Amino acid sequence: MRLVALQRGDSDSQKGDVFRGVLFRVVEPGSLRGSGKVVLRYPFRQELTRGDLYLRVYTREHPLGTTRMAIVPPQGRDRTSGKEVR
């Protein structure tokens, strides 16, 4: 494994996946495990709920990354505002 990254992007019916950058490296190159906690600013939380944030794994066999992996936003209450999150 070379890298696992939280990335920004969306899908376009004509262009396919549109890459807009790496936000966070979950697993660094050369590591076999990784974990982390990412606090997202408001615009990135909106992207998360729209499905525009995803994980991608980079390996020797897939140097340009594997298929994007969806992230399911948490349900419940927002810990900062106390409002219901859906």
| pTM for this prediction | 0.72
CA distance linking residue 64 with residue 72, whole number of Å? 23
b/e string for 49-85 if b means 16 or more Cβ within 10 A? eeebbbbbbbeeeeeebeebeeeeeeeeeeeeeeeee
What kind and span of H or E run contains 44? helix 42-50
Residue range 61-79, pLDDT digits in tens: 999 888 889 888 777 666 5
Average pLDDT, the chain: 82
Q: In the numeric block, which tokens belong to residue 37?
A: 């906690």
pLDDT tens, position by position, 6-21: 999 877 777 777 778 8
* Domain layout of the chain by residue ranges: 3-74
